[in-house]
């Protein structure tokens, strides 16, 4: 059987980062649907880019229109969704991009595996738990998912009728005490700034 061969890049990460003044990392934002993950992610990216830092959001919903269009919402498909997004995040971080990933990622094992992919190659990985209480998430219900579960129109919503394993030791816990979007973004912006001067 054919086995893939690893080709060592001609241009090293250090060369690329130094040449273009980059410092890549991944910021992985986990939490319930409606917790504010995407809102914080997109505002953080906007402020980073405005400040001159190359940043991109890997929106999990958007990736389900392309890269992960073949995946459903079974536990196995959710695991594969996280694995693929984690690999892409690591590739972009290696390139030098601050990669922000708002994704429910309900299983601790999957998040730990993504962290390990980054740490094996010396890439910074910041895990953020958007810990907005589920009652508040259900009140916001931006996609109408909680209503659909209540009305019996769908099943499999993480934290309601599907598992969600909260991080045991995330780098940041945000949203649990009613912090504003600006407060959440400020905390993460400062973390990126500190990591970039190391």
Q: What is the pLDDT of residues 159-175, one digit of tens each?
A: 999 999 999 999 999 99
Q: What are the structure tokens assigned to 138, written together? A: 């259900």
Backbone angle region of 96, left / alpha / beta, with phi > 0 → left and psi within -120 to 50 → alpha: left
Contact between residue 88 and residue 58 where contact means Cβ atoms under 8 Å apart:
yes
pLDDT of residue 109: 97
pLDDT of residue 118: 98
pLDDT of residue 197: 62
pLDDT of residue 198: 55
pLDDT tens digits for range 59-92: 999 999 999 999 999 999 999 999 999 999 999 9
CA dihedral 154, 156, 158, 163 (to 10 degrees): 150
pLDDT of residue 23: 94
26 is catalytic: no
The candidate with the shortest Cα–Cα distance to 61, out of 71, 51, 48, is 71
pLDDT of residue 175: 93
The candidate with the shortest Cα–Cα distance to 76, out of 118, 100, 109, is 109
Contact between residue 99 and residue 89 where contact means Cβ atoms under 8 Å apart:
yes
> Would you identify the CATH topology of the domain 21-196?
Rossmann fold (3.40.50)
Alpha-carbon distance of 98 to 27, in angstroms, equals: 7
pLDDT tens digits for range 92-151: 999 999 999 999 999 999 999 999 999 999 999 999 999 999 999 999 999 999 999 999
Alpha-carbon distance of 66 to 61, in angstroms, equals: 10
The candidate with the shortest Cα–Cα distance to 29, out of 60, 8, 62, 64, is 60
| Domain spans of the chain, in order of start | 21-196
Of the candidates 105, 158, 180, 196, the residue annotated as catalytic is: 105
pLDDT tens digits for range 47-62: 999 999 999 999 999 9
pLDDT of residue 8: 83
């Amino acid at each position: 059987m054919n086995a893939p061969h690893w080709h060592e890049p001609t241009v090293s990460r250090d060369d690329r980062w130094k040449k273009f003044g980059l410092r890549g990392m991944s910021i992985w934002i986990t939490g319930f649907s409606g917790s504010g993950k995407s809102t914080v992610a997109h505002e953080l990216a906007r402020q980073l880019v405005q400040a001159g830092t190359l940043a991109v959001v890997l929106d999990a919903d958007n990736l389900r229109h392309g890269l992960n269009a073949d995946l459903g919402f079974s536990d196995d498909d959710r695991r594969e969704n996280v694995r693929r997004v984690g690999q892409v995040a690591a590739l972009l971080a290696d390139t030098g991009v601050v990669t922000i990933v708002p994704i429910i990622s309900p299983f601790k094992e999957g998040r730990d595996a993504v962290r390990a992919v980054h740490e094996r190659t010396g890439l910074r990985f910041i895990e953020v738990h958007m810990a907005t209480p589920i009652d508040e998430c259900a009140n916001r219900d931006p996609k109408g998912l909680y209503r659909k579960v209540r009305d019996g129109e769908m099943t499999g919503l993480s934290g309601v009728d599907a598992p969600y394993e909260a991080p045991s030791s995330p780098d940041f816990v945000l949203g649990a005490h009613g912090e504003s979007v600006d407060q959440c973004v400020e905390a993460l912006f400062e973390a990126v700034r500190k990591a970039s001067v190391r």
